[in-house]
Amino acid sequence: MTASTAPPSAPLLAIRGLSKAFLGVQALDGVDFTLRHGEIHALLGENGAGKSTLIKTLTGVYQRDGGTVALEGREIAPRGVEEAQRLHIGTVYQEVNLLPNLSVAENLFLGRQPMRWGLVDRGAMRRRARAVLQPYGLSIDVTAPLGRFSVATQQIIAIARAVDMSAKVLILDEPTASLDAQEVAVLFKVMRTLRSRGIGIVFVTHFLDQVYEVCDSITVLRNGRLVGERRTAELPRLDLVAMMLGRELEAAAHRIDLGPAEVDSRPPLASFKGFGKARSVEPFDLDIRPGEVVALAGLLGSGRTETVRLVFGMDRADKGEATVDGRTIRLKGPRDAVRLGFGFCPEDRKKEGIVGELSVRENIILALQARQGWLKPIPRRRQEEIADRFIRLLDIRTPDAERPIQLLSGGNQQKALLARWLATEPRLLILDEPTRGIDVGAHAEIIRLIERLCADGMALLVVSSELEEIVAYSRRVVVLRDRRHVAELRGGEVSVERIVAAIASETPNVIASESTAGAGSGAEVRQ
């Protein structure tokens, strides 16, 4: 497949049949990847695709189980980041892995400081640091601590360090995740300069616009396997998204008929206008009505989680306003949201959801107790009643309510977290990836539960990567791309194909015209 595009000489980096397993889980299964001289090559895929395993195998963090890696025709097997660096493979991560309290010059020459008389030659180090940074258009005080500069500048310094250490292959792992548009432009300029010098760049990102702006080729992985490699110019966005999501677009639409898209005229329970946060998600409008399920769909990193975190006050919005029952509210933190009758099951259950050492009972009553305040303790008997009721209702598998929640399986922990919020009888429940990492049985139960909850009049805001799930239970889907709410599908418009099309849309007008062509549609498109 790659033979036609390869230059006559050996490619810069040729990976063939790369395999790697962890505890019986095949993270990479016979993956090929080819990087040519002077090429920016996007490595794309959703969660669990194997991108980071591939990178870590390249940089020597992991040892491969099978396959070959050849750099300019010579087989390599680095056993550590330093050895990879010696083999001319440099890596720059999203979180810059340099030392913020050392100076820029020290960071650039860490471990290879210019010496004189057995001492670090600081003068030479400063001079060389200025020379190294000069081609990047950075004329900064190289004696200032690195931490004083913006993430973008730090990233360019990290790139400069890697290139100065004679990198031929530069791996950029989500470098743009926390940069603003202007900083991204500067970074791209640097990347293009390096490309013209013959360096091969592997670019990992979640932003499709950036892929089309700067990349020559695209390799897509899914579930540890190679989906394909294409030239960017020859791959329409729709096909790319389909490759990433593993979806046959020809497949017939199969979904429950929800009837025509009716315009819901009831007043919204919660309404967000121009709500947003710099570097997190662009301002968006969102109305949520009682009893409805609103789903947020989009690729990883598209701003789904960021949106719900703003809605629950986990992160503070710096723009826009929110109203509940028509009254303007302030959302300074989760406590405000809980008082308004919101609940939130976060994506990272372990870190932000469960209180591991405490019992299932205590975890279930925690939000209710927090809302009542510490002076009004829920009597132990009542606590046990609540816990037992939800253990039965949600079929939480635990021998008793006193077991520490950390000893339960992931699915049962998730159900206990749902119970925590249901016990507060919320008006709006937010679920971020409610079915991730959960076994098949519990998966189906949680879906059934979502349907039952919304029938009972509670509003639900759900983030999910499982498009079929979204289509099955929601009448309204907000589609996000590159941290923007780009489309809203309603009623009869909600289908996997439409969602994929909206994710892939380059200009919002494309779907707008498509959806208005459909009879009686009410798609809103925003940019």
Partner 1 sequence: MTLSAPGPARNLPQYGALIAVLLANWLLFPDFFAIRLQDGRLFGSLIDVLNRGAPVALLAIGMTMVIATRGVDLSVGAVMAISGAIAATMTGAGWSLPAVLAASLAAGLLCGLWNGLLVAVLRIQPIIATLILMVAGRGIAQLVTEGQIVTFTSPSLAFIGSGSFLTVPMPVVLTIVALAVTALLVRATALGLMIEAVGVNRLSSAGAGVNTPVVLVAVYVWCGLCAAVAGLIVTADIRGADANNAGLWLELDAILAVVVGGTSLLGGRFGLVLSVVGALIIQSMNTGILLSGFKPEFNLIVKAGVLLVVLLLQSPALTLFLPRPKAARPIGTVKPPVAPTSGGAKP
- Residues near partner 1 (CB under 8 A) are 25, 46-48, 222-223, 244-247, 299, 312, 314, 333-335, 337-339, 344, 346, 351-359, 362, 366-367, 369-378, 397-399, 402-403, 407-412, 420, 433, 435-441, 443, 465-469
Nearer to partner 1, 132 or 396 (CB): 396
Q: In the complex, what is the shortest distance from the CB of residue 66 to partner 1, in angstroms, rounded to a whole number?
A: 21
Q: In the complex, what is the shortest distance from the CB of residue 496 to partner 1, in angstroms, rounded to a whole number?
A: 8
Nearer to partner 1, 404 or 508 (CB): 404
Q: Is 94 exposed, middle or buried (0-12, 13-18, 19+ CB in 10 A)?
A: middle
Q: In the complex, what is the shortest distance from the CB of residue 235 to partner 1, in angstroms, rounded to a whole number?
A: 18
Instruction: Give every CB contact of residue 196 below 8 A, 6+ residues apart in sequence.
Output: 38
User: 470-487 burial, b if ≥16 CB within 10 A, otherwise e?
Assistant: bbbbbbbbbbbbbbbbbb
Q: In the complex, what is the shortest distance from the CB of residue 150 to partner 1, in angstroms, rounded to a whole number?
A: 22
Q: In the complex, what is the shortest distance from the CB of residue 244 to partner 1, in angstroms, rounded to a whole number?
A: 7
What is the Cβ-side half-sphere exposure of residue 463, based on CA atoms within 13 angstroms? 24
Nearer to partner 1, 367 or 523 (CB): 367
3-class secondary-structure state, position 230 = strand
The conformation of residue 314, written as its DSSP 8-state character, comes to S
What is the Cα–Cα distance from 167 to 89, expressed in whole angstroms? 5
Report the greatest alpha carbon distance in the chain: 82
Nearer to partner 1, 148 or 371 (CB): 371
Q: In the complex, what is the shortest distance from the CB of residue 429 to partner 1, in angstroms, rounded to a whole number?
A: 13
Q: In the complex, what is the shortest distance from the CB of residue 198 to partner 1, in angstroms, rounded to a whole number?
A: 36
What is the Cα–Cα distance from 300 to 95, expressed in whole angstroms? 18
Nearer to partner 1, 194 or 227 (CB): 227
Residue 191 structure tokens: 């990347």
Q: In the complex, what is the shortest distance from the CB of residue 3 to partner 1, in angstroms, rounded to a whole number?
A: 30
Q: In the complex, what is the shortest distance from the CB of residue 112 to partner 1, in angstroms, rounded to a whole number?
A: 33
Nearer to partner 1, 467 or 511 (CB): 467
Nearer to partner 1, 82 or 451 (CB): 451
Q: In the complex, what is the shortest distance from the CB of residue 246 to partner 1, in angstroms, rounded to a whole number?
A: 5
Whether the CB-CB separation of 420 and 366 falls below 8 Å is answered with yes
Nearer to partner 1, 51 or 168 (CB): 51
What is the Cα–Cα distance from 352 to 336, expressed in whole angstroms? 17
What is the Cβ-side half-sphere exposure of residue 358, based on CA atoms within 13 angstroms? 12
Could you tell me which residues are beta bridge partners of residue 322?
A: 272, 329
Nearer to partner 1, 19 or 223 (CB): 223
Q: In the complex, what is the shortest distance from the CB of residue 369 to partner 1, in angstroms, rounded to a whole number?
A: 5
For the chain, what is the radius of gyration of the CA atoms?
Answer: 26
What is the Cα–Cα distance from 245 to 247, expressed in whole angstroms? 6
What is the Cα–Cα distance from 62 to 102, expressed in whole angstroms? 29
Nearer to partner 1, 48 or 522 (CB): 48
Nearer to partner 1, 201 or 242 (CB): 242
Nearer to partner 1, 226 or 354 (CB): 354
Q: In the complex, what is the shortest distance from the CB of residue 403 to partner 1, in angstroms, rounded to a whole number?
A: 8
Instruction: Give every CB contact of residue 32 below 8 A, 6+ residues apart in sequence.
Output: 2, 15, 16, 17, 18, 226, 229
> In 166-303, which ranges are continuous DSSP H helix?
181-196, 208-214, 237-245
Could you tell me which residues are beta bridge partners of residue 28?
A: 20
The conformation of residue 259, written as its DSSP 8-state character, comes to -
What is the Cα–Cα distance from 338 to 311, expressed in whole angstroms? 11
Nearest to 195 by CA among 170, 220, 160: 170
